[in-house]
Chain A
Amino acid sequence: DQQVKQNSPSLSVQEGRISILNCDYTNSMFDYFLWYKKYPAEGPTFLISISSIKDKNEDGRFTVFLNKSAKHLSLHIVPSQPGDSAVYFCAASGSNTGKLIFGQGTTLQVKP
């Protein structure tokens, strides 16, 4: 099931700089997208979401951008902090279903 793809398995950035995590999807029926963060031995923690009627949503240091025509979304973290080091999952759902379809995850390392 490759409906949601995160093509970069890992990303390393310097503290204070911007982290950009990318996600692509193939199913045009998806209308809600979420980013989750996961630390080892913990469950996914909700970070930020965006509805398909928007192209940007911002919450503090986190901004999600949605490009529907490209079926692409990205998560920007500015400025990045060492505590942001975790696995980040992109997930998508459609209006007629409750299930989330997850990407493979991207491991972010923020170096002090």
Chain B
Amino acid sequence: EPEVTQTPSHQVTQMGQEVILRCVPISNHLYFYWYRQILGQKVEFLVSFYNNEISEKSEIFDDQFSVERPDGSNFTLKIRSTKLEDSAMYFCASSLREGAKNIQYFGAGTRLSVL
């Protein structure tokens, strides 16, 4: 069964460093998303991406964050200068369509630890 793949599973970084989280969405999906879950809190939407551009972003997704689809398979989330509060599980998701019947399929996540 097709699945969303995320690497690495755990990333440890120093505050102020740049990190890139990688995702391979399901191959025929057109919409891509990043969510995060801070320990003990809800899963929160960060950004959605369609047709090589951001279609929606949350307040969390500030200038320190960027997304890219560098080739036909990868979808990345970059955090330019990490802060302690960026420590969280980051989930990538993909879907075939948006709006009604928008079933998003999630990867296993990357645990980001900022020290």
Contacts and interface: CB of A to CB of B under 8 A. Distances in A.
A44 B48 contact: no
A44 B56 contact: no
Nearest to A94: B99
Interface string B1-41: 00010100000000000000000000000010101000001
Interface in A72-103: 89, 91, 93-103
Interface string B58-88: 1000000000000000000000000000000
Nearest to A6: B42
A45 B108 CA distance: 9
Contacts of A97: 56, 98-99
How many chain B residues sit at the interface, stated as a range, is 20 to 34
A46 B107 CA distance: 11
Nearest to B59: A1
A46 B106 CA distance: 8
Given A98-B33, A98-B48, A99-B48, A43 B107 contact: yes
A41 interface: yes
A44 B106 contact: yes
10 contacts: A1-B42, A42-B108, A44-B106, A46-B105, A95-B99, A99-B45, A99-B58, A100-B33, A100-B104, A105-B42
